[in-house]
Amino acid sequence: MNLENVTETSRAIREMAAALGVDAVGFARAVRLDGDALRLQDWLSSGYHADMAWMEGHFEKRVDPMLLVEGTKSVVVALFSYKPAEVQSSNLPQIAKYAYGTDYHIVVKDRLWELLKVIQKKYPEVEGRPFVDSAPVMERAWAVRAGLGWIGKNSLLLNKDLGSFFFIGTLMLNVELDYATPLKSSCGGCTRCIDACPTRAIVWPKVVDARKCISYHTIENRGIIPDSIKPLIGNRVFGCDTCQDVCPWNVRVAPHNHQELAPRQAILSSSLEDWTALNEDRFAEIFRKSAVKRTKYSGFTRNMQIVVENQASSRIDKCE
């Protein structure tokens, strides 16, 4: 392949990514993720994925990018901040910050396709394919290898400049690039995320049991939420940000600059009464192209019922 030298090609791709609004970008050599494969297998064997059977599928493709996209030599990892400038009032039914704006699957994938086209315009020999959380790709593992951060004790990727409120996209390319050296953890002895988790879902550092996780139950769980979990959900109607909200690495992070991810006014202002009065048509209208639609109207109303019950219990407790 008659490309410029690896250093120049890597520099050019970094500049292209920055011009398209990517907040951080790194490159990792495409290899089988042997260590991560063992950790994933242990996690699955422990049943920590609850009923998310899709996490067991395509195991080899999940840990070997060359099986996912033939000819892959490098994994380009892109981070997109979603830390909002304005958040919901704590007394409102809470929606996870990642779902404030347009569905990240749409936003990030569109941006990665743009990046690929720009790369191919300069380097026609390049072939590749982008992925955003909808294929068997271990995004966090690749981000670590690309030097973009380390895995925090809440199992999320932490970046010194962006904290953890960001989306991860990957782009598999058939060219060699400059590869980063993975960073060491900078969590130290901090255990704020573990201590703050309402359901003790972080069973030990870097390991989350989805069967206890509020995000899993309010989004992925299509069935009945256990009685032991319901009161701990509090006023969370979609997801949970607790372990990120308490993380010191998120304190000084500037708000994101992505217009598509700006909070929808309905999310910032809707009250308990507003959401409980929501019919299916209005739900579809408010959450058009939103990640909230993942839970479907039936899941949203189920979650709202739990929030209503928790609010009623809270008022009774205060009266007593």
Mean predicted confidence (pLDDT) in 107-132: 97
- What's the burial of 67, exposed, middle or buried (CB within 10 Å: 0-12/13-18/19+)? middle
Mean predicted confidence (pLDDT) in 89-94: 96
pLDDT in tens, 26-54: 999 999 999 999 999 999 999 999 999 98
Q: Mean pLDDT over all residues of the chain? A: 95
pLDDT of residue 319: 56
In b/e form, how buried is each residue of 31-51, taking b as 16+ CB within 10 angstroms? eebeebbeebeebeeeebbbe
pLDDT of residue 316: 61
For residue 42, indicate whether it is catalytic.
no
pLDDT of residue 2: 52
**Residue from 36, 133, 178, 274 carrying the catalytic annotation:** 133
pLDDT in tens, 241-268: 999 999 999 999 999 999 999 999 999 9
For the record, the structure tokens of 256 come out as 């994101």
Confidence of residue 315 (pLDDT cuts 50, 70, 90): low
Mean predicted confidence (pLDDT) in 181-205: 97
- Residue 93's closest CA among 229, 223, 233, 246? 233
| Whole-model pTM over 0.85 | yes
If one counts every other C-beta atom within 10 angstroms of the C-beta of residue 238, the result is 25
Confidence of residue 152 (pLDDT cuts 50, 70, 90): very high
Residues 75 and 257: their CA atoms lie apart, in Å, by 25
Mean predicted confidence (pLDDT) in 175-199: 97
pLDDT of residue 317: 56
pLDDT in tens, 301-313: 999 999 999 999 8
For residue 9, pLDDT beyond 60: yes
Mean predicted confidence (pLDDT) in 213-217: 98
- Residue 253's closest CA among 161, 178, 157? 161
